[in-house]
Amino acid sequence: MVIFCIVQNAKQNMNKNQKTTKMNPGFGTNSWDLLFDKYLNYIKTERSYSPHTISSYGNDIQQFYSYIEQNYGLNRTPPENISRQILRSFLAQLKRQKYAATSLNRKIACLKSFFKFLFIHKHIHSNPAAGLYSLRTEKKIPFILNYDQIKKAISLIDTTTILGSRDRAILELFYGTGMRLSELANLRMDDIDLVNNVIKVFGKGSKERLVPIGEMAKQAITNYLKKRDDQTQKSKKSDAVLLNQFGNKLSIRGIQRRVARYLQFVSSDGTHPHSLRHAFATHLLDEGADLIAVKELLGHESLSTTQIYTHVSAEKLKKVYKQAHPRAEKEQHKK
């Protein structure tokens, strides 16, 4: 009875201006687990979210379920009784547990997406997450590998073997195209056009873009594909570009390990594949590339996302200025 009153009071505190909708005939009959499965299928098949995002959102929702179970009881708290106050209480608990702002923002994005889905599909009568807003976070300037570090890491690869040739192609493609990890992992044979020197990339939300291939990346991928053809003739066919030693598609984790294997020798800070993507963008801007063009190459939806790399270039310019200009620093007057 006490729990019921808590939920009812929270429900009464909902924003009176929230939009409402007629409920579907099955309203109130769907269990949390069923809605969870429906939502994950929705973001996978209709929204084309990446496997990483689907996994993260799944974990976030399960964490929310645990909170509801511990504080209200899932069986006693149907989805339509979840209020904005309950969502904020959940987030407040995470803040007390010292979750980083970036982690909290992802959970907020997940809750907004989940309850929007429930609302649109008429599983709840109003959307309690509509008034949630992301927390302000400082945009950290990413660590950027310099060209000499990348060149040295690539030189460490033994390209006499098929796996070495593959690894060389991985590093060259990351640095030469700026592709995301998931984009490179999902690359198919038909996506590579070595005649016109372009690669068809499917980014976030399955958005398609064409990225050019430089000569070094083209040479690396050509050498690898020759050895790959020999491998696929001896094993089952696969249309994935990057294969493991068994002839199967190389996993995202596998790619991460291969990149880290070489980058660890040149840097202790930037051993993730994204370090090469960051370097790709920054080095283009350093050489005068247009910001909008870099945005398109990276597959960013918003220019503000790309602008983080202009801050990196600005820092480099300041450093060069201080080192080279005679009046950049105060002169030490001789006595």
Give the per-residue pLDDT at 204: 78
Q: What average pLDDT score do residues 313-323 get?
A: 70
What is the C-alpha to C-alpha distance for residues 94 and 88, in angstroms, rounded to an integer?
10
300-311: per-residue pLDDT in tens?
Answer: 888 888 888 877
DSSP calls for 139-203 = -PPPP---HHHHHHHHHT--TTSHHHHHHHHHHHHHHHH---HHHHHT-BGGGEETTTTEEEEE-
266-310: per-residue pLDDT in tens?
Answer: 998 878 999 999 999 999 998 888 899 999 999 988 888 888 887
Check whether 108 has a pLDDT greater than 60. Answer: yes
**Minimum mean pLDDT among 9-13, 105-109, 211-215: which range?**
9-13
**Minimum mean pLDDT among 60-74, 156-170, 226-240: which range?**
226-240
Give the per-residue pLDDT at 233: 62
Give the per-residue pLDDT at 171: 98
Check whether 27 has a pLDDT greater than 70. Answer: no
Give the per-residue pLDDT at 305: 82
Tokens representing 131 are 């008034």
Backbone Cα Rg of the chain: 25
What is the C-alpha to C-alpha distance for residues 53 and 180, in angstroms, rounded to an integer?
14
Structural contact between residues 18 and 129, judged by C-beta atoms closer than 8 angstroms: no
Coil, helix or strand at residue 319: helix
Check whether 314 has a pLDDT greater than 80. Answer: no
**Minimum mean pLDDT among 13-17, 304-308, 316-320: which range?**
13-17
Q: Which domains does the chain have, with CATH numbers?
A: 2-13+24-120 (1.10.150), 147-323 (1.10.443.10)
**Catalytic site positions:** 180, 204, 274, 277, 300, 309
Q: Give burial (CB, 10 Å; 0-12/13-18/19+) of 311.
A: middle
What is the C-alpha to C-alpha distance for residues 113 and 248, in angstroms, rounded to an integer?
34
Give the per-residue pLDDT at 269: 82
Within 10 A of 44 (CB to CB), how many other CB atoms are there?
14
**Minimum mean pLDDT among 29-33, 62-66, 191-195, 331-335: which range?**
331-335
What is the C-alpha to C-alpha distance for residues 115 and 190, in angstroms, rounded to an integer?
38
**Minimum mean pLDDT among 102-106, 133-137, 239-243, 264-268: which range?**
133-137
Coil, helix or strand at residue 208: strand
Give the per-residue pLDDT at 229: 82
Coil, helix or strand at residue 125: coil
Strand partners, 198: 193, 212
Could you tell me which residues come within 8 angstroms of residue 12 by beta carbon, excluding any fewer than 6 positions away? none
Give the per-residue pLDDT at 113: 96
Give the per-residue pLDDT at 122: 92
Confidence of residue 143 (pLDDT cuts 50, 70, 90): confident
Give the per-residue pLDDT at 330: 62
Within 10 A of 310 (CB to CB), how many other CB atoms are there?
14
Share the mean pLDDT of the chain.
85
Q: Give burial (CB, 10 Å; 0-12/13-18/19+) of 56.
A: middle
Give the per-residue pLDDT at 331: 58
List, in sequence order, every beta strand (DSSP E) within 170-308.
192-193, 198-202, 208-212
Could you tell me which residues come within 8 angstroms of residue 157 by beta carbon, excluding any fewer than 6 positions away? 164, 167, 168, 171, 262
Structural contact between residues 278 and 143, judged by C-beta atoms closer than 8 angstroms: yes
Could you tell me which residues come within 8 angstroms of residue 134 by beta carbon, excluding any fewer than 6 positions away? 105, 108, 109
What is the C-alpha to C-alpha distance for residues 117 and 102, in angstroms, rounded to an integer?
23
Confidence of residue 7 (pLDDT cuts 50, 70, 90): very low
Give the per-residue pLDDT at 165: 97
% the chain with pLDDT above 90: 61
What is the C-alpha to C-alpha distance for residues 266 and 331, in angstroms, rounded to an integer?
36
Confidence of residue 22 (pLDDT cuts 50, 70, 90): very low
Cα 68 to the chain's mean position, in Å? Answer: 28
